[in-house]
Amino acid sequence: GNSVTQMEGPVTLSEEAFLTINCTYTATGYPSLFWYVQYPGEGLQLLLKATKADDKGSNKGFEATYRKETTSFHLEKGSVQVSDSAVYFCALSAPNTGNQFYFGTGTSLTVIP
Amino acid sequence: DAGITQSPRHKVTETGTPVTLRCHQTENHRYMYWYRQDPGHGLRLIHYSYGVKDTDKGEVSDGYSVSRSKTEDFLLTLESATSSQTSVYFCAISESTGYTYEQYFGPGTRLTVT
């Protein structure tokens, strides 16, 4: 079946620290992979995506590389800011599933000044 | 901005009462989804629709029904609300980018069942 596993939170970092949030997946076929971000009181927003192996998605200083050999899509940012405090969700969309998405449980990030 | 609105944004209701949540989109998207978000569970799919009057069940559909009589509106109904249905409910649409589909979300409805 299709599923996503991401690291448990919460994660607390100091401003300018390096961020990694781990995400691994199980999928039939060749999925597309996504990271979404949710700020307090809001819906999920698409942060970045990758549609095939070795693709790197990037946006707002965040990056993630689609690693087929390790079935991973880890989110990284070199220097976090207080404004990055949010919940981050890893997700996949598998072919032939009626456009269904499968989400991880979310990782809460708090960045302190 | 995918033009998705949800109403109401907040609702408190009593156990056993029916509740209907509305999702409205303005861009003629074919696919629409209802999720619930709970701590420790992430997002779980309740029902989805792939066209007017075409719907299917998701992972956690028990106790919920949906209807889609117009492209722009997707309604989620709790026939008899229970405390276990206290949650935040999100509507989403799928949009094709050519290579894949992306999902875009509404702002959510916080439902409390007392």
Question: What pLDDT, in 10s, does the model give residues B53-101?
Answer: 999 999 999 999 999 999 999 999 999 999 999 999 999 999 888 778 8
Do residue A103 and residue B43 have CB atoms under 8 angstroms apart?
Answer: yes
* Max CA distance (Å), chain B: 45
Instruction: Report CB contact under 8 Å: A105, B41.
Output: yes
Which residues lie closer than 8 Å to A34 by C-beta, 6 or more apart?
Answer: A46, A47, A48, A49, A57, A90, A91, A92, A93, A101, B102, B103
Q: Mean pLDDT over all residues of chain A?
A: 94
pLDDT of residue B101: 86
Structural contact between residues B21 and B109, judged by C-beta atoms closer than 8 angstroms: yes
User: Which percentage of chain B shows pLDDT scores above 90?
Assistant: 86
Query: How much of chain A exceeds pLDDT 70, in percent?
Result: 99
Q: Which residues in chain B are contacts of A104 at CB distance < 8 A?
A: 42
pLDDT at A29: 82
Of B50, B100, B104, the CB nearest to A93: B100
DSSP secondary structure string for all residues of A7-33: ----EEEETT--EEE-EEEE-SS--EE
**DSSP assignment letter at B72:** T
Among B65, B80, B87, B89, smallest CA distance to B19 is for: B80
pLDDT surpassing 80 at residue A98:
no
